[in-house]
């Protein structure tokens, strides 16, 4: 009789993206990056698709810009290539984009400090986190 091994929970850093408004913030989405693994490990981002509420709160919000940010970050997270980006040693595009997010995102689009998360189903966890108000 075949008994499959149970799925082991893997560790991730969960990042929460918020859109800053004059009177507060609006939860925009989330990003999960697997901890302690190579660039072939899980890393993905998901922004909310229901932007009508955001547009009601901020008519100047640009859904096309937000979609481009999500698309570009996803591509960099999934890249397995390294390059001489901004140093004398090769850096993976994933490491570079994570550093840029931590150091340079502020003002309207902000990333809150990451929290630790364990899951055996990162894609499902990401969908849930992207729609939640907290991590």
pLDDT higher than threshold 50 for residue 124 = yes
When pLDDT is averaged across residues 81-105 and rounded to a whole number, the result is 81
CA separation for the pair 14, 58 (Å, rounded): 26
**The pLDDT value given to residue 135:** 46
pLDDT tens digit sequence for 4-63: 555 667 889 899 999 988 888 899 999 999 987 666 789 999 999 888 889 999 999 999
Between residues 71 and 83, which one has the greater pLDDT? 71
DSSP 2-28: --PPPPPPEEEEEEEEEEEETTEEEEE
Which pTM was predicted? 0.80
Q: Tell me what the pLDDT averaged over the chain comes to.
A: 84
Question: Reduced to 3 states, what is the DSSP secondary structure of residue 124?
Answer: helix
The phi and psi torsions of 101 (rounded to 5 degrees) equal: -65, -45
DSSP 25-85: EEEEEEEEEETT--TTS-EEEEE-S-THHHHHH-TT--HHHHHHHHHHHHHHHH---EE-S
Q: Characterise 107 by phi-psi region: left (phi > 0), alpha (psi -120 to 50), beta (else).
A: left
Report the largest interatomic distance among the alpha carbons of the chain, rounded to a whole angstrom.
Answer: 61
């Amino acid at each position: 009789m075949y008994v499959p091994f149970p799925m082991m929970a893997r560790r991730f850093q969960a990042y929460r993206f918020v859109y800053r408004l004059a009177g507060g913030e609006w939860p925009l989405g989330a990003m999960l990056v697997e901890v302690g693994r190579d660039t072939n490990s899980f890393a993905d981002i998901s922004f909310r698709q229901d932007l009508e509420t955001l547009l009601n709160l901020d008519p100047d919000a640009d859904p096309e810009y937000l979609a481009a940010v999500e698309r570009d970050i996803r591509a960099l997270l999934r890249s397995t290539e390294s390059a001489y980006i901004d140093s004398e040693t090769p850096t993976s595009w994933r490491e570079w984009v994570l550093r840029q997010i931590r150091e340079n995102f502020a003002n309207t689009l902000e990333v809150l400090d990451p929290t630790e998360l364990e899951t055996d189903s990162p894609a499902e966890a990401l969908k849930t986190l992207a729609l939640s108000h907290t991590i």
